């Protein structure tokens, strides 16, 4: 899988560039760049638990959403180069700090290195589950190479309509690509497995970030997920959208209380049981940790 970097097709941009000499859409070379590695308490309860999730934030992004809350790292402006061995060591350091799991955030463009580092870390004593926290623009081939290495998938389903995906991420094929990617993830993990304390050991949690003015589209995504997977996955209904400076209406405001309530009531009418919600009013930059190279 390492050779994929020489003609990169790790995501559906399929740039086919040799990342040892040139960068593609994600703006990142074949060397790993990280912006932060620390315990994080803002994930879903079975991921954060009581001690926190060992999150490792990668620099760069293959989607480049216009509303991205992690813009400073998604553009690759912040990051420190680390070796595969150092990435494995970081996993062990987070495990030693008490992390319930190791959570790779936006790992798509580094999938082969993540796989290699996990295998090394396991040889060195890594025993907590691994979490692949992705925007879901991964190719199915790239995900297949992670089968047996990743325990938990935490994918977004950002858009239902190609038009929205084009407008906000320049990726009209995103809805189709993300559905195929999520199907592969669920195939790998099977139904959710939680321990006696409610901490997830295996499974898939799909995140739906409600965008302002787009409740109808979020309902279509939720309906699709529930009709396709029922209670074989968890769905996380997120209201934390935080407008970044310069956004145009309606993306220049937070989600209203009534928009979020509308989505929650719809989930209830559908009969969704395996779901997570957020307390309204939590839309703040507190969800965005400082990308100051902590733990790197
Ligand atoms: S990861 Fe995606 S965006 Fe980055 S170079 Fe590869 S195909 Fe292009």
Closest atom of ligand 1 to CA, residue 13 = 7
130-134 vs 102-105, strand pairing mode? parallel
Say whether 40 sits in a helix, a strand or coil.
strand
**Residue 285: its pLDDT value, please?**
43
User: Which residues make Cβ contacts (< 8 Å) with residue 146, sequence separation at least 6?
Assistant: 111, 114, 115, 132, 188
Cα of 167 from ligand 1 centre, angstroms:
19
Residue 26 beta carbon below 6 angstroms from any ligand 1 atom: yes
Query: Which candidate, 115, 99, 119, places its Cα nearest to that of 5?
Result: 115
Q: Given ligand 1 and candidates 16, 21, 32, 109, which is best to mutate, with the most ligand atoms within 8 Å of its CB?
A: 109
CA triple 102-126-1, angle to 5 deg: 75
CATH number, span 2-287: 3.20.20.70
Closest atom of ligand 1 to CA, residue 14 = 7
In sequence order, what DSSP letters do the residues of 200-237 get, joined into one string?
A: EEEEEEEEEEPPTT-HHHHHHHHHHHHHHHGGGSEEEE
The string over 263-283, giving b where at least 16 C-beta atoms fall within 10 Å of a residue's C-beta and e elsewhere, is bbebbeebebebbbebebeeb
Q: Given ligand 1 and candidates 8, 33, 111, 114, which is best to mutate, with the most ligand atoms within 8 Å of its CB?
A: 8
Cα of 113 from ligand 1 centre, angstroms:
14
**Residue 1: its pLDDT value, please?**
53
Cα of 92 from ligand 1 centre, angstroms:
28
Query: Which candidate, 252, 222, 238, places its Cα nearest to that of 280?
Result: 238
**Residue 287: its pLDDT value, please?**
66
Say whether 131 sits in a helix, a strand or coil.
strand
**Residue 283: its pLDDT value, please?**
47
d(CA 295, CA 198): 27
Q: To which H or E segment does residue 128 belong?
A: none
d(CA 86, CA 256): 43
List per-residue pLDDT tens for the chain, 296 residues long: 558 999 999 999 999 999 999 999 999 999 999 999 999 998 999 999 999 999 999 999 999 898 887 776 676 667 999 999 999 999 999 999 999 999 999 999 999 999 999 999 999 999 999 999 999 999 999 999 999 999 999 999 999 999 999 999 999 999 999 999 999 999 999 999 999 999 999 999 999 999 999 999 999 999 999 999 999 999 999 999 988 888 889 999 999 999 999 999 999 999 999 999 987 655 444 467 788 889 99
Residue nearest to atom 2 of ligand 1 (CA): 11
Residue nearest to atom 5 of ligand 1 (CA): 24
Q: Is the pTM of this model over 0.85?
A: yes
Cα of 132 from ligand 1 centre, angstroms:
17
Phi-psi region of 154 (alpha: psi -120 to 50; beta: other; left: phi over 0): beta
Residue 255 DSSP label: P
Residue 63 beta carbon below 6 angstroms from any ligand 1 atom: no
d(CA 154, CA 71): 20
CB-hemisphere CA count at 13 Å for 208? 31
Closest atom of ligand 1 to CA, residue 15 = 8
152-155 vs 200-209, strand pairing mode? parallel
In sequence order, what DSSP letters do the residues of 59-126 get, joined into one string?
A: S--SS--TT-TTHHHHTT-S-EEE-HHHHHHHHHHHHHTT-SSEEEES-GGGHHHHHHHHHHHHHTT-
């Amino acid at each position: 899988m390492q050779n994929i970097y020489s003609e990169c097709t790790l995501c559906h941009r399929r740039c086919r560039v040799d990342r040892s000499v040139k960068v593609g859409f994600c703006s990142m070379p074949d060397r790993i760049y990280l912006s932060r590695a620390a315990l994080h308490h803002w994930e879903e309860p079975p991921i954060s638990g009581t001690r926190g999730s060992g999150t490792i934030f990668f620099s760069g992004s293959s989607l480049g959403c216009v509303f991205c809350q992690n813009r400073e790292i998604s553009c690759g402006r912040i990051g420190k180069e680390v070796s595969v061995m150092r990435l494995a060591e970081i996993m062990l350091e987070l495990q030693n700090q008490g992390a319930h799991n190791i959570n790779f955030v936006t790992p798509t463009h580094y999938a082969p290195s993540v796989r290699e580092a996990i295998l090394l870390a396991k040889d060195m004593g890594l025993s907590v589950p691994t979490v692949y926290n992705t925007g879901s623009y991964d190719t199915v081939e790239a995900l297949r190479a992670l089968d047996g290495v990743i325990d938990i998938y935490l994918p977004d389903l950002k858009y239902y309509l190609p038009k929205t995906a084009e407008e906000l991420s320049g990726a009209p094929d995103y809805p189709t690509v993300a559905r195929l990617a999520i199907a592969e993830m669920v195939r790998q993990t099977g139904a959710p497995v939680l321990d006696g304390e409610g901490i997830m050991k295996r499974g898939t949690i799909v995140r739906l970030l409600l965008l302002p003015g787009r409740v109808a589209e979020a309902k279509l995504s939720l309906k699709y997920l529930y009709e396709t997977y029922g209670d074989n996955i968890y769905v996380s209904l997120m209201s934390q959208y935080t407008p970044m400076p310069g956004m145009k209406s309606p993306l220049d405001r937070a989600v209203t209380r009534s928009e979020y309530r509308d989505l929650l009531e719809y989930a209830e009418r559908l009969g969704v049981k395996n779901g997570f919600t957020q307390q309204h009013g939590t839309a703040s930059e507190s969800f965005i940790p400082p990308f100051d190279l902590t733990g790197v």
